[in-house]
Amino acid sequence: MRILGIDPGLRRTGYACVKINARGGEPTLVEAGVLRIATTGPLHARLLQIRTELLEVLADLKPDHAAVETLFSHVKHAQTAIIMGHARGVLLATMAGKNLLITEFAPKEVKRAVTGNGNASKEQVRRAVMAQYGLRTLKGPNDASDAMAIALTAARRLSLEGKSR
């Protein structure tokens, strides 16, 4: 089974695909990257770019399941939450249109699953996924490592659910 983890964003959306086999074992990383979205232009054009690029990722990686981080919002950043909601909506609708099973995780749940600490820093999450996947280096923004953590969280949950059946 292939699981696609998504860290949603309007400027950068991280993605990571992991593979788990039916016999269990730790997930293996297939690919991770970042969709870099135009920072200028009308919102509808940027949302369309997210959809178009995600469709390419889905066609290339052929995941069976998707996992997405839920929206974190704070009253001080209401406008950001609204804009992020647009991006998440496009991502969720695109994946649902491909009949993917979708699981959502709160940021604290992902952090706790990969580091043992729900208040872990971005750097702690990055180091944890590097260790999990045996990576010596991980270049680029945290969006890809966050997506790797989301995919890992989903893989572990699905493995546990499979064992409890």
Is 143 annotated as catalytic? yes
From the list 31, 53, 64, 69, the catalytic residue is 69
Give burial (CB, 10 Å; 0-12/13-18/19+) of 27.
Answer: buried
Q: Using CA of residue 30, residue 104, residue 83, residue 62, what is the dihedral sign?
A: positive
Amino acid at 96: A
Output phi, psi for 59, to 5 deg. Answer: -65, -40
In this structure, the chain runs to a length of 165
- Measuring CA to CA, which residue among 87, 72, 102 is closest to residue 9? 87
Is 109 annotated as catalytic? no
From the list 26, 31, 60, 143, the catalytic residue is 143
Is 123 annotated as catalytic? no
- Say if residues 9 and 142 touch (Cβ distance below 8 Å): no
Catalytic residue numbers, as ranges = 7, 69, 143
